[in-house]
A and B are shown apart, each in its own frame.
Chain A
Amino acid sequence: MLDYLAQIRSLQSMLREKKISCTELTQAYLDAMERDNPKLNAYVTATPEAALAAAKQVDEKLARGEELAALEGIPMTLKDNISTKDIPTTCCSKILEGYVPIYDATVWKLLKDQNAVLLGKTNMDEFAMGSSCETSCFGGAANPHNLDHVAGGSSGGVASAVGGNLAAYGLGSDTGGSIRQPASFCGLVGLKPTYGAVSRFGLVAYASSLDQIGPITTNVEDTALVYDQICRYDPMDSTSKGAEGNTLSHLKDPVKGKRIGIAKEYLEGLKPEVEAAIQQAMKTYEAMGCELVDISLPALKYALPVYYILACAEASSNLGRYDGIRYGYQADSYLNTHDMICKTRSAGFGKEVQRRILLGTYVLSSGYYDAYYKKAQNLRGSIVRTFREAFDHCDAILAPTVPMTSFPKGFTSQDPIETYQTDICTVPVNICGLPGVSIPCGFGEKGLPIGMQLIGNTFGEANILNLAWQFEQATGGEFNKKVEGGLAL
């Protein structure tokens, strides 16, 4: 039994040293999925054949004595909104029922080219709209730390799988916190990269100007390792810039003298146990020789409405294409084309998605555009400036990831506005296109993990991962706690 959370580096040395074959490793994960997925509901599609085929290639390579690439042979998962050729990609929506992409997302192509072992596609809130994974048409994913609680969202399935040892790492997407929040809820590390660092080609769009793919892993080093492999410039994505991919080599840089910004705006309305954990983290950094700097982010109060207006506006346009004509679900009976489109969309989209499409359509409508969309765009500019100015005074900003720990199941369906407010700490990073990493920093009631966020300046991934790694070292990795069950090896 592997009673600790898997680490990419240790798995790869096991493979290199031939302590285990890639086929055996993959089979162990597949067995664990069979055993534990009914409890966690992390996976919505398992791909055992493809996984074992990739594993076989790796074993042949090892037999020939060839070197392995950075992520070669490591069993992993993808959120179900990342397009995978010949493998269903549903966004956990009924409307994409039966849709099988005919092309690969760029990130998946990059990993597939180095024989990453895809175990399956993981659960998510429908079209990444939600904070609990419960808007999924397959039902929510459970938190490996407490099965009565949610894994978070929207990349809840990735977090549930990685936290439950059903994958060594996974790729999620983050539009308003969808990587960092579930990572925080499940005691994992999750990086939302700088906008443009990772190609969006093949990521089913929710809000194009905010979406970004990133890793969820069990520790900081793995996040750096995965990020370095996927931050490539992609000519297929006009907003792609790519990044140097040198974060791994900077993990161990000294952090003494680095200035960490603390904004009071981020510390309001936190659950006491979360506030205590953040205070403790500040002390840890001070003890490491970092300087805590008070910064002010006055525009932060607009972040939530700005996010929901812009994200919904873009979503209303991005989701217009699901009309039942070319792929996916189509209503059974209808009078004419128009009726077919209406019936397909009414039955194919869940309640939350419909709410956001309506909201987005409204804020873009003539007569309301200036009052909502245009104003939100202007405020987006103010928020960007606020952060730019803040980074004149500090090297990174420390903030909670979520004001609380994981919700009990069923909590979020009660009041949408209250649920939206839980995104308060994560959305500013998306609005500004900045990188943010969530790392575990404590435990709250019922043993539920608490996460904290390090926010960096544009393309400052190396810097925040360096600070995150040093924190993990300084705290002995005590927050990356083992979970029940585990992987039989």
Chain B
Amino acid sequence: MSWELVSGLETHVELSTNTKIFCGCTTKFGGEPNTNCCPICIGLPGTLPKLNRQVVHYAIMAGLATHCTINNVSKMDRKNYVYPDLPKAYQISQYDKPLCEHGYIQLDNGRKIGITRIHIEEDAGKLVHEHGDTFVDYNRGGVPLIEIVSEPDIRSIAEAREYVEKLQMIMKHIGVSDCKMQEGSLRCDVNISVRPEGSNEFGTRTEIKNMNSFTNMEKAMAYEYDRQIDLLESGGKVTQETLRWNPDEGITTPMRGKEDAHDYRYFREPDLVTIYTTDEEIEAIRQELPELPDARIARYESDFGLPEADAQLLVKYRKIAEYFEAAGEGLANKKTVANFILGQIFRTLVTDEEKENGAVAIPPEYLHDLAKLLEDGKIKMNLAKTTLDKMLETGKPCTDFISEQDMGDIDEDTLRTICQSVVDNNPKAVADFKGGKDKAVKALIGQVMKQTRGKADGRKAEAMMVDMMNDME
């Protein structure tokens, strides 16, 4: 029998507000343990939370960017459980009135993955195990999170990955999170079940907690998919349980009963008031939302004639997309600019992070000026390429490397003179050519280019020199 995978994801995304969700402490990652804390975020007796309105704003942005309905009336609830990293013994979260509901993310294959809800909540601290002791670091406690819950619409591991990648791209694009899986600012819980191909019923699901990399997520899902099928095919049953992925052994293991069997005793947080958001506020947030990645990719394809893959690569990093648009401003041919970025410039931005930060050595105006010279026919591609390399190396504008003399065409007579001298001075290459090695002419063109500082029309030079050599005895 063939089995279909059914999966839904709960994705926690850390919001990049400057301060925590209920106090004025910084949300900066790192820092000495327990230095970014105050009486409120360590839950000292008598303290009260105060909702950071920026968190609501960012969550609404995330909701609008994923086609959600934004609830005008929302509230906070307490989720009660005891764990040393949770200083109040409850997490302030949202239970039955989340900020955003009923959205979706569209995959490249056209399928829509439904988003059930997006709610805001506070992060917990972190346990640190050292020298046989356990310590608690509350720096992360109270950092704002949104939890994005998807419908069980995902049907393959590849779809799961694409869904998270899209989510990541959207969140980064609208600037609400840096979504760094390795720093834990994006984490996933994966719900997974299997069913016979063609069935409409859902199988019993398991939940794999805390996936913090794509590799782990894919491996864990593949393992769990096989495990469940093996179980069912051997006449067994899947138990609904919470699992932990063990990357060293490559297996999922059930969490201990105590961690699993939670009765969170949700109830309304009495220390916070109802969150009201007017239609006007929501509209204003919609207006300030930047163009979303999918729309941007489509525009690059249709308006600029970029190939889909190129458009996707540019849009993957919001700052690169912005750089591209700034550099291409006013130019007829955006493709050249895109090629410069995806080729030479990307070679200087090795890591994802460098691309993300858009840390290009030259400002977009410099690239624009270079592309403009090319577009106006004042310089040739060869010269443009070598110049760009120099610009990237030094951070200087193109005018530092291209003289007035370099611009403007070389007249036919001058070119002929140069070609003649190259032919005259390279008897070996000429002999090779005449001996049947057509490639030898390339070396000669290189010489011409060098002498004209890349300004010569390669094809014209080639034709001239071939004629010259053929005329020779």
> Is there contact, CB below 8 Å, between A320 and B48?
no
CB contact under 8 A between A237 and B48, given known A321-B89, A364-B267: yes
Instruction: Confirm or deny: A361 has a beta carbon within 8 angstroms of a beta carbon on chain B.
Output: yes
Q: Which chain A residues numbered 180 to 233 have a C-beta less than 8 Å away from chain B?
A: 200-205, 207-209
> Is there contact, CB below 8 Å, between B47 and A317?
no
Q: Which chain B residues numbered 263 to 284 have a C-beta less than 8 Å away from chain A?
A: 263, 265-267, 270-273
CB contact under 8 A between A366 and B263, given known A201-B47, A209-B270, A321-B89: yes
Which residue of chain B has its CB nearest to the CB of A105?
A: B46
Q: Which residues on A sit within 8 Å (CB–CB) of B51?
A: 238
Distance in angstroms between the alpha carbons of A337 and B84 in the assembled complex: 8
Chain A 62-89 per-residue mask, 1 if CB under 8 angstroms from chain B, else 0 = 0000000000000000000111000001
> Is there contact, CB below 8 Å, between B270 and A208?
yes
Q: Which residues on B sit within 8 Å (CB–CB) of A316?
A: 80, 265
CB contact under 8 A between A321 and B43, given known A208-B271, A341-B82, A364-B80: yes
Main secondary structure of the interface of A (DSSP, over half): loop
Distance in Å: Cβ of B188 to nearest Cβ of chain A: 26
Instruction: Confirm or deny: B87 has a beta carbon within 8 angstroms of a beta carbon on chain A.
Output: yes
Which residue of chain B has its CB nearest to the CB of A210?
A: B270
> Is there contact, CB below 8 Å, between A317 and B265?
yes
Distance in Å: Cβ of A32 to nearest Cβ of chain B: 29
Instruction: Confirm or deny: B429 has a beta carbon within 8 angstroms of a beta carbon on chain A.
Output: no
CB contact under 8 A between A325 and B46, given known A313-B267, A361-B265, A373-B267: no
> Is there contact, CB below 8 Å, between A320 and B82?
yes
Instruction: Confirm or deny: B190 has a beta carbon within 8 angstroms of a beta carbon on chain A.
Output: no
Distance in angstroms between the alpha carbons of A365 and B261 in the assembled complex: 13
Of A82, A200, A208, A327, which is in contact with the most chain B CB atoms at under 10 Å from its CB? A208
Q: Interface stretch among A94-102, A275-283, A383-391?
A: A94-102
> Is there contact, CB below 8 Å, between A238 and B271?
yes
> Is there contact, CB below 8 Å, between B134 and A337?
yes
Which residue of chain A has its CB nearest to the CB of B42?
A: A326
> Is there contact, CB below 8 Å, between B82 and A317?
no
CB contact under 8 A between A321 and B39, given known A314-B270, A337-B84: no
> Is there contact, CB below 8 Å, between B267 and A325?
no
Q: Which chain B residues numbered 1 to 47 have a C-beta less than 8 Å away from chain A?
A: 39, 42-47
Which residue of B42, B80, B273 contacts A239 across the interface (Cβ within 8 Å)?
A: B273
Distance in angstroms between the alpha carbons of A235 and B134 in the assembled complex: 36
Which residue of A203, A317, A325 contacts B78 across the interface (Cβ within 8 Å)?
A: A317
> Is there contact, CB below 8 Å, between B265 and A201?
no
Which residue of A83, A105, A238, A361 contacts B272 across the interface (Cβ within 8 Å)?
A: A238
Distance in Å: Cβ of B90 to nearest Cβ of chain A: 5
A selection of 23 A-B contacts at a CB cut-off of 8 Å is A83-B45, A89-B46, A91-B45, A204-B45, A208-B270, A237-B48, A238-B48, A238-B271, A239-B270, A239-B271, A316-B80, A317-B78, A320-B80, A320-B88, A320-B90, A321-B45, A323-B82, A337-B134, A361-B265, A364-B80, A365-B265, A366-B263, A366-B265
Chain B positions near chain A (C-beta within 8 angstroms): 39, 42-51, 78, 80, 82, 84, 87-90, 134, 136, 258, 263, 265-267, 270-273
Chain A positions near chain B (C-beta within 8 angstroms): 81-83, 89, 91, 96, 99, 101-103, 105, 200-205, 207-209, 235-239, 313-314, 316-317, 320-321, 323, 325-327, 337-338, 341, 361, 364-366, 369, 373
